[in-house]
Amino acid sequence: MQLRPYQQELIDKIREKFVDGKTHILVSAPTGAGKTIISKSIVESTVSKGKRVLFTAHRRKLIEQTYNVFGKNSSVVMGNDKRFNEDSLIQIATLQSLRTRKLTTPDLIIFDEVHYAPKMINTIKKRFPKAYTIGLSATPIDSQGYLLEGWDEIIQDIDINYLIKNGYLVDTENYAPMRLNLEDVKMQCGDYSNTELDKKLNKDYECSNIIENWIKYGGGKKTVVFCINIKHSENVCKSFLKAGIKCGVIHSKKTDEELEETYKQFYNDEIKVLCNVDVLTTGWDCPDLECILFARPTKSLRLYLQMVGRGLRQSINKEKCLILDCANVIFDNGIPTEHRVFKRKPFISERVDKLVGISRDNPKTRLTEEREVYLLKIQKYLDLYANKKYRNESELQTDVNKYLKKTGYFWWRQNSGKVLHQKRWISFTNKAGLPDITFMYKKSSVYVGIELKMPYGRLTPKQNVTFREMIDQGVLLFFASNVMDIFLIIEFLEKNIIESDAGYFINKNIYNLFERQDSFYLKFMLKKRSV
């Protein structure tokens, strides 16, 4: 079979990465891009040089599909399958079988649907540390939407829009006729709790609404429905049947014979609608499928794109695939054909990484263990307090106190400390005219003043005197209206106060305050100390 131009370009790029010294390549290619054909070409080239290849997948159906494409010279590693031949250069294995089966060390491993079981895949990679590996998926991301970890390089040059524009996939036509109120549905592992969804949506009137919208927008189209659970899929199917629409249902409690019969009826158009639960999300192809109906809400981008991918293959007289969203799925995840570039997981979080200038793609920004522990801890409290709007200063003071205490990283005092008064440092117990917080950076002798002010706050007459005196004498004075300001102040100190074996060194630019603090100084008509 002749490769499509983009398939050959992808294969060439993988080879280039291997030549450059990368040994673990993650490849993102949409459903319908021909990942099995790409794999076959790579396998044939590798085997022609006398090298051994291991191809893995997580489902029996995928193994069968791959065997039919790779040919009978391949060996199947799957339970007691009689097609196993330990001498074959091509081993096609289920991930589960690799747990116990001993194999000759492969030179190349290709992981299909690499997103399915990343922990198991990492175990296999460790088992064969000298093997080159390729991970294939339309969605090579974790449950949070970040690129899978443990890979040297990511290739994501092909997207759905490219394949649609060049005539390899059909476009989508999107309708979201129902809007569900899911605000009270609890989250579990980053997605809606199925138990909660079952309680809220597995009701006759909800099922009826789904059928009414299908009749209105997708009536007559060959349709797959994605449901919440087995009970829900059965109820939706009954609602279709009640409306006089031929419908079938497949799920894990069906026997192999029942499943095969239902598939056959669907392929032969004896039934028009097929309800399912987590069966048709990966490794299932039905090119003449015309409609995807979401009856199951999900915030999982990975699951969403996998489900949409079932309907994008080309077929005779098929111009588009109807995406009928009755479960807020498009609202939560965006238009199916939206251009997406998957990103590596942040060190800490997207917000903190951006603020402190660190990135997994830039090895120069590696964190010390102490700093990583600190930032991970801080992120939890930023999530709690960063976007909070305060009604009064005392409420802000309480959260800042909690924030500083919980960091365990800095020394600070409130209502007592040191102050420069008439050119003399003295201890004080009356804080009138002084900053709300006296803050000592780590264990150094660098004292910092932090004054908490609401957006409408002003300096007191005494602060107008003492603050200017402090600034003139080189005391670092900052202002904060929220917890994020405190975080930015600490980061500024971190950047300009350098710790070494010889002690602490202060960068002279420490008086060149960052933009946020400049705005406070301007507001309070304070003159910054010149460097």
pLDDT of residue 100: 83
Q: Per-residue confidence at 254, pLDDT binned at 50, 70, 90?
A: very high
Q: By C-alpha distance, which of 30, 339, 13, 54 is closest to 154?
A: 13
Model confidence at 422: pLDDT above 90: no
Q: Is the pLDDT of residue 502 over 70?
A: yes
- Check residues 25 and 344 and name the one with the higher pLDDT: 25
Residue 151 neighbours by CB distance under 10 Å: 21
DSSP letter assigned to residue 148: P
Sheet order of strands, 476-480 included: 411-414, 437-440, 447-452, 476-480
User: Which pLDDT score is estimated for 52?
Assistant: 97
Architecture of domain 386-523: 3-Layer(aba) Sandwich (3.40)
pLDDT of 412 reads 66
Residue 415 has pLDDT above 60, yes or no: no
Q: What is residue 447's predicted lDDT score, i.e. its pLDDT?
A: 79
Decide: residue 292, CB within 10 A, 0-12 exposed, 13-18 middle, 19+ buried. Answer: buried
Does the pLDDT value for residue 419 go beyond 70? no
Q: Which residues contact 439 (CB under 8 A, 6 or more apart)?
A: 404, 410, 411, 412, 413, 447, 448, 449, 450
- Token pair, residue 508, equals 């002279």
Q: List the one residue out of 364, 363, 366, 361 whose CA is nearest residue 343.
A: 361
CA 463 to CA 434: how far, in whole Å?
A: 6
Other beta carbons within 10 angstroms of residue 150's beta carbon come to 16
- The yes-or-no verdict on residue 16 having pLDDT over 60 is yes
Q: What is the pLDDT of residue 369?
A: 82
Tell whether pTM > 0.75. Answer: yes
Could you report the per-residue pLDDT of 308-322, keeping only the tens digit for each?
Answer: 999 999 999 999 999
Task: Return the minimum-mean-pLDDT range out of 52-56, 88-92, 203-207, 467-471.
Answer: 203-207
pLDDT band at 374 (very low <50, low <70, confident <90, very high): confident
Q: What is the DSSP letter of 98?
A: G
pLDDT band at 353 (very low <50, low <70, confident <90, very high): confident
d(CA 28, CA 105): 26
pLDDT band, residue 414 (cuts 50/70/90): low
Q: What is the CATH number of domain 168-333?
A: 3.40.50.300
Q: In this predicted model, which residue has the larger pLDDT, 347 or 41?
A: 41
User: Residues of the chain with pLDDT > 90: what percent?
Assistant: 60
The arithmetic mean of pLDDT across residues 472-490, rounded, is: 91
Q: How much is the pLDDT for 417?
A: 59
Q: 5-158 architecture in CATH?
A: 3-Layer(aba) Sandwich (3.40)
**What pLDDT is attached to residue 276?**
96
Task: State the pLDDT at residue 424.
Answer: 67
* pLDDT above 60 for 90: yes
Task: Provide the pLDDT confidence category of residue 416 given band limits of 50, 70 and 90.
Answer: low
Q: What are 105-152's pLDDT values in tens digits?
A: 999 999 999 998 888 999 999 999 999 999 999 999 998 889 999 999
- For the ranges 328-332, 505-509, 511-515, the one whose mean pLDDT is highest: 328-332
Residue 426 has pLDDT above 80, yes or no: no
Q: Do domains 5-158 and 168-333 have the same CATH topology?
A: yes
Domain ranges within the chain, ordered by starting residue: 5-158, 168-333, 386-523
pLDDT band at 413 (very low <50, low <70, confident <90, very high): low
Euclidean distance between CA atoms 250 and 264, whole angstroms: 12
